Chain A
Amino acid sequence: MSIQIKNVSKRFGQFTALDQIDINVDTGELIALLGPSGSGKTSLLRIIAGLEAPDHGSILFHGENITSVNPKERGVGFVFQHYALFRHMTVFDNVAYGLKVRPRKTRPGKQEIKEKVKELLELVKLEAFAGRYPSQLSGGQRQRVALARALAVEPRVLLLDEPFGALDAKVRKELRRWLRKLHDEFNITSIFVTHDQEEALDVADRIVVMNQGKIEQQGSPEEVYEHPVSPFVYDFLGNFNLFHGRLKEGGLDYGQEQAEGERGSEPLKAVGYARPHDITIHREDIGGECIKAVVHYIHRVGPVVRIELKRIDTGEFLESEMMKEVFKELKLDAGEQVYIKPRELKVFIPEDYSI
C-alpha cells in the first residue's frame, strides 16, 4: 500500500502544526518522521490514521483519496505512544478486539479468532500472558501487545507514534530490531514517529526530518546523516562542533587569527559544523588550519573515548571522539596542549547570502 501525502496543512488555533507537507511512501517502505516535539510529526501521523482532519490537502492510499474516510474504514494499524491498551481487558481480549468488533458478515468465528490471537501472541512472544491485564505487564510487554493488537486487523499500513519512547535503553534497542524484522516479514507499509535520531537512523529505510510543521529534508539515513541540507538537520542528527569563521575561496577560515585579519574585502561570516568523530587531535602542528587547544576532560568509558577540548584562541569548547586504540597511541592527559583539526567541515551559507 503506497501512501501519498499531498499539500497537507493543519492549524490548531494560532499554531501551525503542519505547513504544506508532501510525502510519498512506497509500498513496503519503513519511514521515520523525525523531529523535535512540536514539529508536527505526530499530527501528521494522526491525520494519516484519520484521527485528525487536515485543513488543506489530501491523503491517498494506493492512489485513492481517503481524506474524508472514517478511521475505522482506513485499515490502518495504529500503535499509540502510551500504547492505549484497553485496561479492563486481558491481553487476549485486547488483541482479539479488532476482530470481535467486525460486522457479523466479515467477523471470523470464535475458534478462528482464538487461533489468530494465539498466533499473534506467539509472534510477540507473549503466549504465556494471554490472561493478564495490561497493568500487570512491563512497558516492553505492553508495547508488544499494542503491536499485536494493531496487526490483528491485518492493516495495510502500520503507524507507530513514538513506539519506543517510554522504554529503557536496552529494551528499546531489542524492540527496534524486532520491529524491523516484523516489518520485513509482514511486507507492510510502516511510518513511525520519533524524536530519537539514533532510532530513525537505525531502523528506517527513509527519514523525513521535520521542523516547525515543515519538512527539512527527506532521504535515506546515509543521505541525511552525511549530507544534511540545513544546520537544523545537522544539529538534530547528532552531536557537533561549531566553527565560526569567514568564507574564503574553497572553504571557511575558522582560525581566530586569520579571521580577524584584513584579508580580502568584507569576507562573509559563516558557521562550519563538524561531528566529534571528525575532529582529529595531534601533538604537533601538522600545518594547514590547526587550532591550539587544551584537553579539558576525558570520558574513557566504552570503546569510544570522548575528549572535551577548550580552544586557546576563543575559549570555546569542542568535543572529539576517537577509538580507544587511537587514544592509547596519543597518550593524552587532561591539561595538555594539543593541535586539533576538523577532518571535514560542513559549511552552510547563510540564507541572506546572494552573489
Chain B
Amino acid sequence: MAGHVPMTYGETSVSRKTVKGGSPLIKWAAISAALGFLLLFLVLPLMAIFVQAFEKGLAAYAAAVSDKDALSAIKLTLIVAAISVPLNAFFGIAAAWAITKFHFRGKNLLMTIIDLPFAVSPVIAGLIFVLMFSSHGLFGDFLFRHDLKIIFALPGIVLATIFVTLPFTARELIPLMQSQGSAEEEASMTLGAGGFQTFWRITLPNIKWGLLYGIILCNARAIGEFGAVSVVSGHIRGMTNTMPLHIEILYNEYQFSAAFAVASLMSLLAIATLVIKSLLERAGKEQAGIKELKE
C-alpha cells in the first residue's frame, strides 16, 4: 500500500524499451521467479478462497451470501465507502491544491500530517476515536446528553475509515500537480477566467486520471479496512458489522465456507477494482499517447 507508484504519463515509452544484449537465461530466471512468487503468494490463496467458498456446494454459498447479517454487512460496507470516499476525494483535491498552488507557513507540516495515517497502526487510529467519543471519552458527556451515538455506530465506522484512507487521493495528486506547476492556471486567470472556472476547466481535466486512480485505491481500502473499524464498530451483528468484520466472526464460529463465501465476494470486489485501475491507467496513457504521437 505504501509502496504504490503514482501514475506517470509520457515517460512510459522509455521504460517499455527492452534491454538489448541481456542474457535470455537471466531474463527467464527473473520472469519465472516473479511469476512463481505471485503464484505462491497471490494466486493460490485466492483460489483457495473460492475453493473453500464452494466446498459445500452452490446452495450453501448462496445461503451464506444472502444471509440477513451478511447482506446487512455488505450494505454497511457500501454505505461507509459511499460516504468516506467522496469526502476523501474532496479533501485530497483541497489539500493538493493548497500545497501545490500556494505558499504558506506550515506547508511541510501539513504534508507530514497527511502521511500520518500511513504511519499509524489502524488499531491506534480506531482507539483515538474511542478515546474521543466513547462514554468515558473526551466528548462522551456531551454526546450522551444530546443522545448522539458515534462509537459502536455508523458515524464511528465512517470516521475511522476516513482517517485510515485520508492520504490516498492527496498522495496521488500532490506529485502530479507539483509536476504540472501552476502556469496553466495563471494563463487561465490572465485570459479572464475566475477561480472556479479555472479549476473546472483547467485543473480538474489535468488531474482527472490521477484523481480517479486515487479514488479507486481509496475505495479499495475503505471496503477492506479491518483494524480501525474493528475497534470502533462493536461487532453488533446486522448493525455495525462491515464485510471484513463479518468474515472474521463467521470464521471464529467455525463457519468456514460461509466465511470464505463472503471473502470471495470481497475478493471479487478487489479484482474488479484492479481491472478498473488498469483500464484507467491505460486510458490515461492513451490520452497522453495520442498527444505525443507526432512529437
Contacts and interface: CB of A to CB of B under 8 A. Distances in A.
Given A82-B183, A84-B183, A51 B206 contact: no
Contact of A136 (B184, B186, B188, B293): B293
Contacts of A98: 191-193
B201 interface: yes
Interface in B248-295: 287, 290-295
B121 interface: no
A263 interface: no
A64 to B, nearest CB: 18
B295 A49 contact: no
B193 A133 contact: no
Interface in A151-193: 152-153
Contacts of A149: 187, 191
B190 interface: yes
Interface residues of B, number: 23
A310 B201 CA distance: 62
A134 B293 CA distance: 11
A51 B189 CA distance: 8
B24 interface: no
Interface string A68-95: 0011111011101010111110000000
B49 to A, nearest CB: 41
B290 A72 contact: no
Interface residues on A, range: 20 to 34
Interface string B187-226: 1111111100100011001100000000000000000000
A149 B187 CA distance: 10
B187 A80 contact: yes
Given A72-B194, A98-B192, A149-B191, A135 B292 contact: yes
A133 B295 CA distance: 11
B295 A136 contact: yes
A128 interface: no
A88 B201 CA distance: 10
A78 B192 contact: no
B192 A88 contact: no
Contacts of B194: 72, 101
A80 B291 contact: no
Interface in A232-275: none
A343 interface: no
A49 B190 contact: yes
A250 to B, nearest CB: 54
A84 B187 contact: yes
Interface in A99-128: 101-102
A71 B189 contact: yes
Nearest to B287: A88
A58 B218 CA distance: 48
A85 B206 CA distance: 12
Given A82-B183, A135-B295, A101 B192 contact: yes
A71 B183 contact: no
Nearest to B294: A136
B189 to A, nearest CB: 5
Contacts of A86: 184, 187-188, 202
A76 B294 contact: no
The 3 nearest A-B residue pairs measured at CB: A84-B183, A98-B191, A101-B193
Given A72-B191, A78-B187, 6 more contacts: A72-B193, A85-B184, A86-B184, A86-B202, A87-B206, A150-B190
